[in-house]
Amino acid sequence: MLLKDMIKLSLFVLLIFITSGCVNKHGISAKVYSDCNEYYDLQGYYHKDCGDDDIITYKTMLNAIKKKDTKPKSNVW
C-alpha cells in the first residue's frame, strides 16, 4: 500500500514540475516568460502589451466558462 502511494505522489510531483514552467501570469504559454511589447505613445502614456504568444489566456478561459450557461431558446408554453 505504501509503494502505491509513493508512486502516485512521485507522478504527481513530476507532473507539477513539467507543467509549472508553462503557466505565467497571462495564461498558458509554450515559454516561461511571455514576450511583452513596451512603449510610450505620443502623449507620454506607458503601454505594455503582453500575452500575444500565449496558447490560451485566462480571459479566453473565463469567457468559455461564461458561455456554457445556455438560455432556453423558446418559451415553455
Per-residue pLDDT tens digits for 32-65: 777 788 999 999 999 988 777 777 778 887 888 7
Q: What's the structural domain count of the chain?
A: 1
Q: Is residue 14 part of a domain?
A: no
Residue 4 has pLDDT above 90, yes or no: no
- The pLDDT confidence band at residue 76, using thresholds 50, 70 and 90, is low
Domain span holding position 56: 22-69
Q: Is residue 36 part of a domain?
A: yes
Report pLDDT for 77.
64
Residue 20 has pLDDT above 90, yes or no: no
Q: What is the pTM assigned to this prediction?
A: 0.45
**In Å, what is the CA distance from 68 to each residue of 6, 40, 60, 73, 75?**
38, 39, 13, 14, 20
Q: Is residue 42 part of a domain?
A: yes
Report pLDDT for 42.
94
Residue 71: DSSP 8-state:
P
Q: Is the CB of residue 25 less than 8 Å from the CB of residue 48?
A: no
Q: Is residue 52 part of a domain?
A: yes
